[in-house]
Amino acid sequence: MNTTKSEKLFNEAQKYIPGGVNSPVRAFKAVGGNPVFIQRGEGSKFYDVDGNEYIDYIGSWGPHLFGHNPPFIKEALLKAVEDGTSFGAPTELEVKMAKLITELVQSIEMVRMVNSGTEATMSAVRAARGYTGKEKFIKFEGCYHGHADFFLIKAGSGALTFGVPTSPGVTKGNAADTLIADYNDINSVKKIIQQNKNEIAAIIIEPVAGNMGVVPADKKFLEELRNICSEEKIVLIFDEVMTGFRVAKGGAQELYGIKPDLSTFGKIIGGGLPVGAFGGKKEIMEKIAPSGPVYQAGTLSGNPLAMAAGFAALSYIKNNPEVYKSLEEKSSYLENGFREALAEVKKNYALNRIGSMMTLFFTENEVNNFQSAIKSDTALYGKFFSEMLKRGIYLAPAQFEAAFVSTVHTKEDLDKTIQSFSESVSVA
Ligand code: KE4
């Protein structure tokens, strides 16, 4: 596969951009080799600057539920740009977008638009702190909620479960209020609450984790989490940046039948443009400036182009709820093909799938939390990734990520992927 132009661009990029990329995972460091630079995308495929074609399973890390450049989003954008790109003043489309989100996600009574998932999650935690007057919050090891300082914390050692920064630049002060529990382990949550009675403002969770690879929460665990938050007056935040509008029309909360107090969104909600959102109970959201004292702002929040793309995406979902049936059919077809290929080579790797997001873990133990996920052989994943890339299949360039199926992956795409999988998993 000729990647001469990509290599040249990557060398050039590294002179001006840290690591040559604008988001770390894109640099292929977790899988080895150099990233290919993408020229354009169309449907289920995208094409690199050397003209190589790939069937794409990252879909821009989740936004492309309908594949690259779906006509109805492109049309909405081209129309919107005629009126201008940004006003910094309220527009009608923001009202329509907010109303549509409250229609699609039952728990959302009010919503604020922002420009990324990170902004959504950091604002949601601030809202919870402002609403409860409490300062600490619980997150789960293995869940990623964006790069706000107080999220870049890992489980510290010792019984107190205080977090420690995972990145230079994050202060101990920030870490002090972040408490780390174990995913799918309600006792670890109860222990932390006992140790920090009446000090915890929020618990934030990916209801289906995608950032340790795909690890679904147990329904019973989420139900108990919901009950504990209600009893202890802790704000339950579902981080649905990845799962929102992905695993169901109403997100993971619809799938599980659980109502969080706040939810965060990103990715699909922007139709491929930079959009995030946080929302939920009116009594909490009314605390947000200017209706309340909790400050939150953004120059380009609710930007007309981003709203046009996002509104087109969510309107399509509202008018075509059968897309989730089609996504399930395509995704289970792919999963079954993978499982047959694994059986042929007698490899019993863990394959977790919820709807159109899935991860193959290179470990034979069950993967139901972070500790079990990290038993995966990441070097083997790297070899597998490269074998698939060579065959024109673009998966997440890191073991602890998700692969995404879109509504426009065809049976031909899926069969080619299964064939490539079968060859790659036997040589990896
Ligand atoms: P952004 O700030 O990247 O828009 O969203 C942060 C975020 C928050 N919550 C969840 C559940 C997320 O998955 C994300 C971002 N996901 C990663 C993929 N693992 C984005 C890819 C990247 O960092 O380049």
User: In this structure, which long-range contacts are made by residues 226-232, counting pairs with CB atoms below 8 Å and at least 24 apart in sequence?
Assistant: 226/258, 226/259, 226/260, 228/186, 228/189, 228/190, 228/193, 229/203, 229/261, 232/193, 232/198, 232/200
Atom of ligand 1 at shortest range from CA of 25: 24
Output the ligand 1 site: residues, CB below 6 A. 23, 25, 61, 116-118, 121, 144-146, 206, 210-211, 239, 241-242, 266, 276, 401
Atom of ligand 1 at shortest range from CA of 121: 8
User: In this structure, which long-range contacts are made by residues 91-97, counting pairs with CB atoms below 8 Å and at least 24 apart in sequence?
Assistant: 91/302, 91/304, 91/307, 93/304, 93/307, 93/308, 93/311, 94/302, 94/307, 96/311, 97/302, 97/307, 97/310, 97/311, 97/314
Residue 145 CA to ligand 1 center (angstroms) comes to 7
- Give catalytic residues, as residue numbers: 144, 239, 267
The residue nearest atom 21 of ligand 1, judged by CA position, is 61
Asked whether this chain's domains 4-69+322-427 and 71-319 adopt the same fold, the reply is: no
Domain edges within the chain: 4-69+322-427, 71-319
Residue 146 CA to ligand 1 center (angstroms) comes to 5
pLDDT computed for residue 165 by the predictor: 81
Atom of ligand 1 at shortest range from CA of 206: 11
Atom of ligand 1 at shortest range from CA of 117: 5
Residue 166 CA to ligand 1 center (angstroms) comes to 16
The residue nearest atom 7 of ligand 1, judged by CA position, is 146
* Pocket test residue of 26, 139, 145, 237 for ligand 1, highest count of atoms within 8 A of CB: 145
CB-based contact 335:358 (threshold 8 Å): yes
192-225 pLDDT, tens digit each: 999 999 999 999 999 999 999 999 999 999 999 9
* Residue 321 CB coordination number (10 Å): 12
pLDDT computed for residue 159 by the predictor: 47
The residue nearest atom 20 of ligand 1, judged by CA position, is 61
* Distance from chain centroid for Cα 410: 24
Q: Tell me the CATH number for domain 71-319.
A: 3.40.640.10
Angle at 151 between CA 262 and CA 186, to 5 degrees: 65
* Residue type at 94 in one-letter notation: E
CB-based contact 110:279 (threshold 8 Å): yes
Atom of ligand 1 at shortest range from CA of 119: 2
Distance CA 361, CA 340 (A): 16
The residue nearest atom 18 of ligand 1, judged by CA position, is 61
Residues 101-129 have a mean pLDDT of: 98
* Pocket test residue of 57, 61, 275 for ligand 1, highest count of atoms within 8 A of CB: 61
Using CA atoms, how far residue 155 sits from 58, 183, 239, in Å, is 28, 12, 19
pLDDT confidence band for 46 (50 / 70 / 90):
very high
The yes/no answer on whether domain 4-69+322-427 falls in CATH 3.50.50.60 is: no
* Stated pTM of the model: 0.97
CB-based contact 231:376 (threshold 8 Å): no
pLDDT confidence band for 161 (50 / 70 / 90):
low
pLDDT computed for residue 162 by the predictor: 61
300-350 pLDDT, tens digit each: 999 999 999 999 999 999 999 999 999 999 999 999 999 999 999 999 999
Residue 428 in this model has a pLDDT that exceeds 80: no
The residue nearest atom 13 of ligand 1, judged by CA position, is 242
What is the overall mean pLDDT for the chain? 96
Q: Can you name the residues that pair with 225 across neighbouring β-strands?
A: none
Residue 174 in this model has a pLDDT that exceeds 90: no
The residue nearest atom 15 of ligand 1, judged by CA position, is 146
Sort 412 into a burial class: Cβ within 10 Å, 0-12 / 13-18 / 19+: exposed
Residue 272 CA to ligand 1 center (angstroms) comes to 13
Residue 340 CA to ligand 1 center (angstroms) comes to 31
How does strand 178-181 pair with strand 110-114? unpaired
CB-based contact 277:110 (threshold 8 Å): no
pLDDT confidence band for 164 (50 / 70 / 90):
confident
Using CA atoms, how far residue 223 sits from 132, 145, 229, 264, 366, in Å, is 22, 21, 10, 19, 22
Atom of ligand 1 at shortest range from CA of 146: 6
* Residue type at 264 in one-letter notation: T
356-411 pLDDT, tens digit each: 999 999 999 999 999 999 999 999 999 999 999 999 999 999 999 999 999 999 99
Q: Which residues of 36-62 are buried (b: 16+ CB within 10 A; e: fewer)?
A: bbbeebebbbbbbbbebebbbbbbbbb
Residues 153-165 have a mean pLDDT of: 65
Residue 329 CA to ligand 1 center (angstroms) comes to 26
Percent of the chain past pLDDT 70, that is, above it, reads 98
